[in-house]
Structures are given as C-alpha cells and as structure tokens.
Amino acid sequence: MSWLSRVRNSLLFRSKKESPDNLWVKCPHCKEMLFTQEYEANLFVCPRCEHHGRIGADVRLAQLLDDGFKLLPAPKVAEDPLKFRDTKRYTERLKAARANNPHADAFTVGFGTIEGRKAVVGVQDFTFMGGSMGMAVGAAFVAGAEKALSEKSAYIVVTAAGGARMQEGILSLMQMPKATVMTRRLKEAGLPYIVVLADPTTGGVTASYAMLGDVHIAEPGALIGFAGQRVIQDTIREQLPEGFQRAEYLHKHGMVDMVVERKELRHTLAQLLDYLSPAKAA
C-alpha cells in the first residue's frame, strides 16, 4: 500500500468513526463543545451549564420507563384531509419529517413500569414538525389514555410542541377538546394524569392537555406558554419580566408544581405514582 492510500484510508476511517459530527456536540445554550458520549451519558443535559437538551420519543421513553417497555402502535388517521399546501405540500413535509424520525408522527406512547410501578407514558417529539398537534397526535394521546384506563394505570405525558398543526386547520384544534375529554375520563376513573412540560410547550397544547394534569412537572429552563413573548409584549405594550414563560418563573407563580432535573425525573415520577396510585388511596 502506498503512503498516499494509507493516508487516504486513515482519513476515511476517521471520517466514519470519529468524525467531529459524531464525536462532539455544541451545547445550544452555553455553546461549549461537549463529548457526545458524555452528553448522552448525562441524559442530554449539558454538564457545564445544566441546559436540558431536546430529546426524541425513544430516548425519553428509555429514560423514564424500566427496561422491557413496549410501544403502542400508532393509530391510523386520515392524512392531509385538507390537501394543504403552502410553499410545499403537507404530504411532502410529513415525508421529510418521517425520513428523520423512527415514528410516523409527533406523539409516541410507551407502556411498562417506572421503578416497578405500572405506567403509560406518552411523549411528544419536538423534532417531528415542531411536535405540532394534528389528528395523529390527538389520536395517539387518546390511545394512551385508553390504554391507561384499561390497565388501570397512571398516564404520564411529556409535552413539547409549537402548538397546533396549521396544515390541518380546524381539525387540529378539535384535538384540544378531544384530549380534554380523556383527561376527564382518567379523573373519573381515579387514575393519575401527570404532565411533564419539556422545552418548549406552547400554543394549543398548553391550552389543553398540557395544563390539565393532577401534577405539573417542568424541566429546568423549559419555555412554557400560550402565545409567544413578542406577541404578548406587542399586545399589552409593556416590557415583560426577566425569565417570563420559563419553568422557574411559572413555578414561582404557581402554574407549575415542581421543576425537576432530568436525572431526578424517573424517581420523582415513581414517588408520585406511589402517592397517587388508586391502590394506596383506597
């Protein structure tokens, strides 16, 4: 082998196994370069500034549920009922989102146990079209609630969304009352419904199931609100306070029950399930 091909091969090898893309990741908050491995081991929380990174459904479910959890099949819904098109067709946007995500839409339900306590966990994934709530998200939310009802277990939902899916128009807004009815059914059955507000939880999701939990937990620094800060500022023509719409601010003002670091989340949920489980209450 010539020296040239040796150099070329070693470069090829490097680019596959140790390319800077895989090896390093930049913290979106403090901009520090982090070892991907270290970042992953720290549950995608920056070890330097404690910024809680956004994570997908599979990672979140694995972080919260004990090993051996299962996924509920994604419910089938009518796709693109309005034949919507802006700069691109809605079907094209869906296709692109699916190419980068193992799931068919932005809400995935897993079920199993959390430190031995039975639970159904629904996770909204911001990386899938901004976690936006359309018919598929609504149907998956309902399927998760029905699973909790049939299993007589708690329903935990991790929210992350930019709001309703505008490509589905009024049909996306109809998911708000639909999800709200399911939270009522869980309440009537005496089953706990717990919401974990992840960054960011906004719009129609905040206006429905994200704010109807028996307990609201938020991740540190998460943006939580209905309308955006700029919209509110322009409407009321006043400067908004520092940290407005962040988890800590909402906690201080009574909108959120606790702000829990990701590394404590699983155990906190397990404790809550103990306090709230129907068996204990009886």
Q: Which chain residues interact with Zn ion by CB under 5 A?
A: 27, 29-30, 46, 48-49, 51
For the bound state, the minimum distance from the C-beta of residue 219 to Zn ion, rounded and expressed in Å, comes to 14
Considering beta carbons, is residue 28 or 278 the nearer one to Zn ion?
Answer: 28
Using the minimum distance from each CB to Zn ion, give the nearer residue, 66 or 248: 248
CB of 53 to Zn ion, least distance (A): 9
Q: Does residue 124 contact residue 202 with C-beta atoms inside 8 Å?
A: no
Shortest distance in whole angstroms from residue 46 CB to Zn ion: 3
Residues 76/81/86/91 CA torsion (nearest 10 deg): 40
Q: Which is nearer to Zn ion, 92 or 261 (CB)?
A: 261
Work out how close the CB of 55 gets to Zn ion at its nearest, in angstroms, rounded to a whole number.
15
Phi, psi angle pair for 189, to nearest 5°? -85, 0
Q: Could you tell me the two tokens for 107?
A: 């809400």
Angle between helix 57-64 and 262-276 (nearest 10): 60
Query: Which residue, 27 or 179, is less far from Zn ion as judged by CB?
Result: 27
As a whole number of angstroms, the distance between CA 269 and CA 115 comes to 9
Q: What is the DSSP string of 227-252?
A: S-HHHHHHHHTSPPPTTTTBHHHHHH
> Closest approach of Cβ 100 to Zn ion, in Å?
24
Q: Please, which residue, 144 or 200, has the CB nearer to Zn ion? A: 200
DSSP H/E element including 135? helix 135-151
